[in-house]
Structure 1
Amino acid sequence: MNELSVLLGYANTLWHLAGFVTTPLELVSFILSVATVWLNIRQSHWGWLFAIISSVTYGLVFFGSRLYGDMGLQLVFITVSFYGWYQWLHGDDSHDRLPVTALNARGRWSAAAGWLVGFALLAWFLKSYTDTDVPNADGFLTAGSLVGQLLLSRKKIENWHVWIIVDVLYVALYLHKHLMLTAVLYAVFVGMAVIGLRAWSEDGQSADGGAGRRMALE
């Protein structure tokens, strides 16, 4: 137990890095998170392993900053990551690699409704049972992140739309909480989400074209 306390104490030591105040734990989480999104853009299932590890490290970072919604979100991310890993490898009807697809109108409305309901519940919980000073922002972005992660696990292209909205707002939240390196990370995530949206859109169009050609031949 003492060794763990010493390790956590070192991991949360303040570092001055390129004009930012950060900690070793936040820096490691930064690197792992960038690797996760880069692998997601490339549709590599190994991205889910990095997601699990970065969720553990960021859970500790958020606990120290009293962002309890984000901390709890990391636990959910770990669970969803195992689900997403399986889905990407064996998730379609033929148990082959999961293709990129888009939500229909009903699916988009369901995702939006789930986001709003999740926001209401999480904001109420955070106000009632924690000492966070940003319950509404934390609840809204936590709910949005859950929606984005679930869409990502099913390779729905709309996950990138959700992440763009969430990541822009997270930049402001982390600046408010003085998590400067994490704010920079989420600014990077905005750009990576735009790249991911374009890459997956091209992949989806290629898949649709291939399906159309096969139907014509048949």
Structure 2
Amino acid sequence: MNVLEWLFDAQIVIGDQHVLWREVIGNVFGLLSALGGMRRKVWAWPVGIVGNLLLFTVFLGAVFGTPNPVNLLGQAGRQVMFILVSIYGWYRWTRRSGDTATTITPRWASWPTRIGIVLVMVGGTAALTPLFTALGSYEPVWSDAWIFMGSLLATYGMAKGWVEFWLIWVAVDVVGVPLLFSAGYYASGLMYVFYGAFTLAGFFVWMRQRVRPSAVVTVEG
């Protein structure tokens, strides 16, 4: 058995529960990517892509014939989105010159923007739910659609420098944790618990930076 075959089939058996090593390793790579991104390391992008590829196969359990035959289409779809964003980020970071930097000043979104975020979040979830249902996503399907829409909006909000993007991630995690545990994705559920605490802390950090006029977040690019 070669390494790829082992990686695809290897499991951790705890009682009557089966956890794929791909799920564990994919989440570890995601955590390493997040830590590397905080330190503005170029290797964060390819590491994140590897994690996204692994998790994409995990969340299409029924398609890939895993011991947990459950499809979470929102989770799988957002891995594709993250891969595309990572390719773009990797491209930009590897072509930076000298000490050139893009400075992002954390700022509050306007009230019309906040209302728009809520409407897009709710409306997008409502629109995607019947589509994900028809494609065979795991119940409750609205949770999977909510996670997908929240991931899109949080990524966009981060690019815009809105402090509120952290709260969108918190909203994703609040729904994601019970969904992942109920679907049998225990490693990802535990990681979501950690990410939930991390994103809530990130909100307060950016909020403090927002109230100090001299504070900025610098991302090399």
If the length of structure 1 is used for normalisation, what is the TM-score?
Answer: 0.77
What is the aligned-residue RMSD (CA, Å)? 3.2
Unaligned runs of 5+ in 2: 62-69, 217-221
Show the counterpart of 1:31: 28
Cα distance in structure 2, aligned partners of 1:35 and 1:69? 22
- Contact 2:143–2:179 (Cα < 8 Å) also in 1: yes
More strand by share: 2
- Contact 2:74–2:145 (Cα < 8 Å) also in 1: yes
Q: Partner letter of residue 66 of structure 1? A: N
- Describe the SS at the equivalent of 1:130: coil
Distance 1:161 1:86, change over 3 A: farther
Distance 1:132 1:177, change over 3 A: closer
Does structure 1 residue 164 correspond to structure 2 residue 149? no
Provide the identity percentage.
Answer: 20
Unaligned runs of 5+ in 1: 212-218
In the TM superposition, structure 1's runs of 4+ consecutive aligned residues that sit over 4 Å from their partners are 83-90
Does structure 1 residue 81 correspond to structure 2 residue 86? yes
Q: Partner letter of residue 31 of structure 1? A: V
Cα distance in structure 2, aligned partners of 1:154 and 1:85? 18
**1:100-139 Cα distance to aligned partner (Å, 9 max, x none):** 3222222212222221222122102112233533321111
Q: Kindly report which structure 2 residues correspond to 1:17-28, keeping only aligned pairs within 5 A, or say none.
A: 21-28=18-25
More helix by share: 1
Does structure 1 residue 180 correspond to structure 2 residue 191? no
- Contact 2:133–2:141 (Cα < 8 Å) also in 1: yes
Does structure 1 residue 98 correspond to structure 2 residue 85? no
Does structure 1 residue 192 correspond to structure 2 residue 198? yes
- Describe the SS at the equivalent of 1:121: helix
- Describe the SS at the equivalent of 1:132: coil
Show the counterpart of 2:51: 54
Cα distance in structure 2, aligned partners of 1:205 and 1:50? 34
Distance 1:7 1:43, change over 3 A: closer
Does structure 1 residue 150 correspond to structure 2 residue 156? yes
**1:46-103 Cα distance to aligned partner (Å, 9 max, x none):** 444443332211111101131122112211222233455678899xxxx841313222
- Describe the SS at the equivalent of 1:98: strand
Cα distance in structure 2, aligned partners of 1:188 and 1:148? 17
Cα distance in structure 2, aligned partners of 1:126 and 1:167? 19
Cα distance in structure 1, aligned partners of 2:179 and 2:60? 15
Cα distance in structure 1, aligned partners of 2:209 and 2:47? 23
Does structure 1 residue 12 correspond to structure 2 residue 9? yes
Q: Kindly report which structure 2 residues correspond to 1:37-48, keeping only aligned pairs within 5 A, or say none.
A: 37-40=34-37, 42=38, 44=40, 46=42, 47-48=44-45
Q: Partner letter of residue 143 of structure 1? A: M
State the 1:192 CA deviation: 1.0
